Every structure is written in C-alpha cells, then in structure tokens.
Structure 1
Amino acid sequence: MMALKPLHPGPSLPDSAGWENEIMNLSETLIGRARDIAPMVASAAYDTDRNRYVSSDVIDACLDAQLFEILVPKVYGGHELNYSTMASVVYEFARHCVSTAWVVSFYIGHNYLHALWPKGFQDEAFAKGPCSFTPGTIAPNFRLTPVDGGFIANGLSQWNSGSARADWFLNSGLVMVDGKPQGAKAFMVPVADVEVIDNWDMAGMRGTSSGDARLTDVFVPMHRVVDVSDLLEGTTPGAQLHANRIYGLPVLPFVFGETMPVMVGAYRGAAEAFQRLTEERYTTFTSSKVQDKQTAQIRIGKGLAGASVAEVLLRDYMNLLDTADPQDLRPIARRAEIRARIGMVSDYVKTGIDDLMLGAGGGAYRNTSPLQRFSRDMNVLRVHGFLDTETAAENLGRVTLNLPPNCPL
C-alpha cells in the first residue's frame, strides 16, 4: 500500500525553506502518530460498530496525539497546518474503521470551523485548550427568533455525528420575522443547552453516534452566529481575522473534503480485507484454495488497483484545497463541479466495494468481518445528502445550463 503524504506544507513565503521544512516535519509527525493509533482503531472496530460510538480510549489517544488541532490557528495554540495533513490522518483510520474516521474527521474539521466564527466565540471554544468537540450540521433545522443581543433557537436536528462526546453543537436555522424567513444563520451552542437524543440505530455508519439534538428556547448571542452566506462564500469573520488563506475557503469544498479521505481509506481497507479473506478461504465442496481461482485473483487485482485510483483522486483534492486561491472556489459553477466530483467518488468507491463483496462468500457477512462493515458503511454514505451523486450531478447540469442550483453550494 502506498502511504499518503502531504503534498504542500502550507502557504509559501519568500525565503521560507526552513519554515516549510518545520511544517512538513510536524505534519509527518502527526501522520505517524495516527499510524501508531490505527491498530487500536482496528481492534476496537467491532465494538465501535456494536456500541454505536467511538470509544473514549480512541478519542483520548487522538487528543493526546494532538490530532484535533491540525487546522486550529496558532494564536489559539493549534498547528495551523493544511488539509493534506488532516486527510492523511483520517485516511489511516478509515482503512480500519469508517465510523472512527468519520468522527475524527468531523472533530478536526469542526475545530477548523470554530476559526471561522467571530473572535468572541473563538475565545470561548479555545478557552480550555486548542481544540474542543463539536458535533452538528449546517442543515437549517432550527427556527431563530430575533431578540436583543441575539436569537432564540427552537427545533430538532438529525445526523449529529460524534454526539456521544461534545462540548458544543453546530447548528443552522432560518431567521423568522412575522412568520417569514429572513435568511439563514449558522450558530454554536454549548452542550449544556442541548437535549442530546440517543436514537442512532442504523444499518451502516453505526459507530458514529449521529443522534438527534433538540433546542428549546435557547438563547444564542450574536458572537456565536455566522451568516450561512458568508460560510458558503468564504467571507466569514474568521476569514477577516486570520491571515492564512485556509480560513477564507468557501465552506462546502472543505466539508466535502472531510468525507473524501474517509471514503478512499475505506476502499483501501476493503481491498486489503478481501485479499486476507481470499488467502484464508477454501471452497465449500472441493476444499480447494479460493486464491487459486481466476475470478478471485481478478477481484483482488481490481480492488487494489481501484483503491490506488481513489488515492490519486484524493491527492488531487488535497492539492486543490491546499493551493487554490479562495477566490477561485467562489464561483457557483466551480463549487457545483466540486460537489459533483465528490459525489462521483462516493459512487466509485461503493461500486468497487460491492464488487469485492460479491466474491467474498457468506462468511464475509458475519458481524465480525471487517469487509461487511466497509460495505454497509459505504452504502449509507452513498446516500448522504452531500454525497448523493444524482443531486450533485443534477446541480452541475443546472448551473452549466445557467439555471439556479436547487441545493446548497
């Protein structure tokens, strides 16, 4: 297996070779720590799936390894590195447990989102250290009523990945005045204000603790609020506060980037699991080794090559997020193309893993088999709102035909 390495250590500066080497060394150190934690992730994968959440031991190991602050500004004690480092860390976990990789990716990514909010919230979020745990979504599930100094929030949200461990919750809602929507706001609330509902029971992505969250008459002060339009455009308060270009990226290309290494790592993990299973299997009636069958050999080859192709696509996306001028990602057509690209990756990975399952035999469907977890998880991710290929492709077509999009871009 080819190890993923960050392509770009950060924004280039004049005469900065020493600085770039320092950043690259730190990036490699953090990726190495993730590889050291990966066996723990693998051994816990069955229990993660069964228990419906990532164990505290795994999260604490990532916390001790300083993985969650990869994209936190240095002014708050973070590493302020790049997307490549984040993606490489997440990829190492996804090869063993998709649920763990998903939760870790969102914890890292949402610490990045903290840096896009007004300084008052950043001071709160990073008051106890350079990271905090923030599940949540930016789907507009809540009703926001304007009051002096902020809003009153009411509503229920779903798909709050990582809600088993939380300091804050990320939310979004429509501002309602006289019963009419007046724009969308994203906002943060402390976990003490949230009714966390433990109702996550799914066929796949079972270990992500993505339960519901209810807010009832919760006051949200203005320093915890951001215009959704500013997030989409990359013109948030944090973009004005922090000089590093990464904080000026439109948010959805970054959010898609949270999912990309999860899917690609899952393909590599499934291909390796299928190879191990094939090497161990004997046919039921003739007791011949399955690895001697041409069809098994073809599937191994296709799986390993397919995972390598997916890794090339991930590297290309790393390069995009690490080098693109934020201005170049702001046109709606560019963002539509990115969303469609990520949707196609989800289709590609799901189809590749499904093909491996066809040749894996009945034993691969035992709950103890990692291969069936990869299959179930990718079948659920394939229909995720941000990864659905039909929606993404439709909107790229609409934008290309000069029609307005009908989903967030």
Structure 2
Amino acid sequence: MLTHAHSIDQSPSPTTPARATSGPELAERARRLAPLLATHAPEAERRRRPLDAVIHALEEAEIFKLMVPACYGGLELDLDTFFEVGVALAEGDAAAAWVANFYVEHNWILCQFPESFQRELFAARSYVLAPAMVAPAGRAVREGDGYRLNGRWKWASGISHGDWVIPGALEMTSDGRPNPLWFALPAAEVKVEDTWYVSGMIGTGSSDVVVEDVYIPAERSVSMLDLGSGHGPGALLHDGPLYRTPMIPILTMAAAMPALGQARASVRRFRERLTERVLIETANRQAERPGAQMRLARLEVEVREAELLMRDAMEDVCARRNRATIEDRARWATQFAIAVDRCKKVIQGACEASGAHAHLQSSPLQRALRDVNALACHALFNLDNRFEGYGRVLLGMDPGPLATLL
C-alpha cells in the first residue's frame, strides 16, 4: 500500500478538458512566489526545516509537477523551464529553492524506475515529495525477488515533508563488483535523526536517514549507471526527451540554481543599499563614490557571466541528451562548478561593500553569504576535482573515480 501524498487535487471535471500549464506560466508563478519564500526564510532557519506554508504554496503553484509525465497528470516540461523556475524561486530563498528543485528532480528519478512501480506510485497523485541521497551509503543484499536494505544516509534535504525516500546503495554482484542502485521506500519505513546543525542552508532540514533491515521489491529499484547515461527505463517508457537526459547534469543544475538566484538578489540589494547608505567620512551617499559604482558594475557583469555559463550548459544538455560524450559531460560539470564559484564571489563582494549592516541577522545578505558558501562545498562543485576531471578527459585520459560525478 502506497502512503498518502501531499498532492492537492487539481483534476478537471470529466466534462472539462484540462489545459496544461505552460513553461512561461509556471515560471511566472515561481517569480510571484519569491517574495513569500524571502518572507519565511528567517523562520525556516529558526526551525531548521522548510515551512508548511512554503511547501503548500509550491504545491498550489504546481511546481512539483514540472518533470512528471503528462500521462500521470504532470506538466512534462523540460530543463529550460526548470531553469527559469529554479532561479526565480532562489531569488527568494536559497534553502527553500534547494528543497523545491530537488523535489522536482526527484520526481524525474522516480519516473526512471520500472513501469509497474511508476504506475502504482502515480495512480492517485501527480507528484511525490521525496528526498534522495546520491551517495550509495547503504548496503543492498539480494533476497528472493527483491533486496534487503540497510544503511545511514546524510543530507536528506526535505525529509520533513517527504512521502517517499530515494536512497542510493551498493549491491555486490557475484563477481565482486559494486552495483550502485537507487531504491524507493515510503518515508514511514525510515528513521530520521535530527543532525542538521549547520551554518548555511539551515532551512533545508537535511537530516540523516537510517534504514534498518527493510525488504524492498525489485521493481522499487533502478540502476544508477543507467540513469547516469540517460538510458533508464523512463527513456523507453516516456516519449519526451527529458527522460533520455543523463542524471548528473539535471542534479547539478538543481543544486546550482539557488546560488545564481541569491547572487542576483544580492546584487539587487547592494544596488538599493548604495542609494540609501550615507558614508560617515564624507556625509555623502555611497552611490556617489566611483569605487562603489565600479563595484556595482563589476558584480552585475559577473552575475551575468555566471548565468550565461549555466544557460549554455543547460542548452547543450538539451541538445545532446544521452548522445553526449564524456567530454561534453565533463565540460557541463565544470561550467556549473565555475558558475557557482562566481556566484559565491559576487555575494561576498556585495557583502564586503555593504558595510556592517549586511551582517545583521535581519539582513538577507548575511544569509545569502552563509547559504551559498555552504552550497558551494557540495562535491558537485569542487573546482579542483572538476578541473582535474575535465583536463584528464581533454587529454584523452580516463577521468577515474571522478567519472561518477559526470
């Protein structure tokens, strides 16, 4: 028996044909939600988890349906819409956008599981709220027609509102090779340990998940390697090109967009601050100082540079999908990592030039700085690893262990 979903029934009456929400419409809804996310960000930090009001508003706006196939009542939109929606939400709050982006992307993962499980899961709902833990930290042992799963996973973003959980685990094959798999199980079957005491991205509620001796049918498992290459079951089951897209670029984009949204918002706040702030030493507005004007102009260009790097990678992913070479995928990964680093430095620059006021707990700038500093520590954005992996590929060498992040 599947667990109850948070889905809000928005089904049309039998006599009224449904009109699917378009990409621009969904992006506009996200832009209108950004102020709500910003308003609730301080309280989400205090509670160390997303707020019910924010999750409910995202549900009402159909955000979580973005990548779900139309046959299940989803919107079946592509990465271009995901980009616009994710960045718009992130201008309100990085932590809320992080959770929202991954809820969207994890529905895509669930649509890569075997067809029998998909049809069961989406029989009475059009989306699921499910954290997924990428690191295969668990151990899966074959048992009959399924697996016996045990393990502990960190970074379960959004677990507080999760209906399902998608942990990664290793199965040791008969020849001793590790086989990384995704599993899906109801949130009621896992133990959540409140470990989320951090300096940034506090509002994501990314606590630990523990699974102890749970049996999972084989149809609730799927190969990570197949998804990584864009050849999961969903690629054969669903017609849309989205379902033939490699997993890691989608995951990386979901993680990177909160940085871009907060960089945009921080530059805007810095610009507003310049017109208000009066410098003690001159009694003039800071906006009148050439240094401040130059700083603002540089930050505006740098955040645009980061956006162009992300957009270029996103558009190339859409053009190549599962036909991409390892060089393409290494370049995408590097572009996203560079873009996140640029966003981090843009926010740092805005804070440095905004004076001590930027570091008041009431200032969104200090939260942006902490959030994006924490976000940039994700393994996906390790610049040394990204440059090394891309450099090896450019030289015709095997990227080695770094291949798992491409």
Query: Is the 1:174–1:181 Cα contact (8 Å) retained in structure 2?
Result: no
Equivalent runs, 1:2-401 vs 2, <5 Å: 26-176=22-172, 180-322=176-318, 324-329=319-324, 331-401=325-395
Aligned-pair identity (%): 32
Q: TM-score, normalised by structure 2?
A: 0.90
Partners of 1:125 and 1:303 in 2: CA distance: 45
| Amino acid in the other structure paired with 1:361 | G
Instruction: Name the residue aligned to 2:397.
Output: 403
CA-CA distance at 1:177 after TM superposition: 5.8
1:40 CA drift (Å): 0.9
Report the Cα distance in structure 2 between the residues aligned to 1:142 and 1:221, rounded to whole angstroms: 16
Distance, in Å, in 1 between the alignment partners of 2:333 and 2:134 is 16
| 1:327, distance to aligned residue in structure 2 (A) | 3.5
Is the 8 Å Cα contact of residues 346 and 389 (structure 1) preserved in structure 2?
no
State whether residues 245 and 325 of structure 1, in contact with CA within 8 Å, keep that contact through their aligned partners in structure 2. no
Unpaired runs of 5+ in structure 2?
1-18
Question: Alignment RMSD, CA only?
Answer: 1.8
Per the TM alignment, residue 387 of structure 1 is displaced from its structure 2 partner at its CA by: 1.3
Q: Distance in 2 between matches of 1:107 and 1:293?
A: 44
Shift of 1:404: 2.4
Is the alpha carbon distance of 1:306 and 1:182 closer, same or farther for their aligned partners in structure 2, counting shifts above 3 Å?
closer
Report what 1:6 is aligned to: none
Give the superposition deviation at 1:271.
Answer: 0.3
Q: How many Å separate the matches in 2 of 1:386 and 1:182?
A: 22
Q: Which runs of 4+ in 1 moved over 4 A?
A: 177-181
Gaps of 5+ in 1: 1-21
Q: Is the 8 A contact 1:91 1:261 kept in 2?
A: yes
- Bigger Cα displacement from structure 2, 286-295 vs 37-46: 286-295
Classify the secondary structure of the residue corresponding to 2:133: coil
| CA–CA separation in structure 2 for the residues paired with 1:340 and 1:305 | 20
Query: Partners of 2:122 and 2:261 in 1: how far apart?
Result: 30
Q: For the residues of structure 2 that align with 1:93 and 1:182, how far apart are their CA atoms? A: 38
Distance 2:308 2:390 in 1: 23
Tell me the distance in 2 between the aligned counterparts of 1:314 and 1:397: 20
Distance apart, 1:181 and its partner CA: 4.6
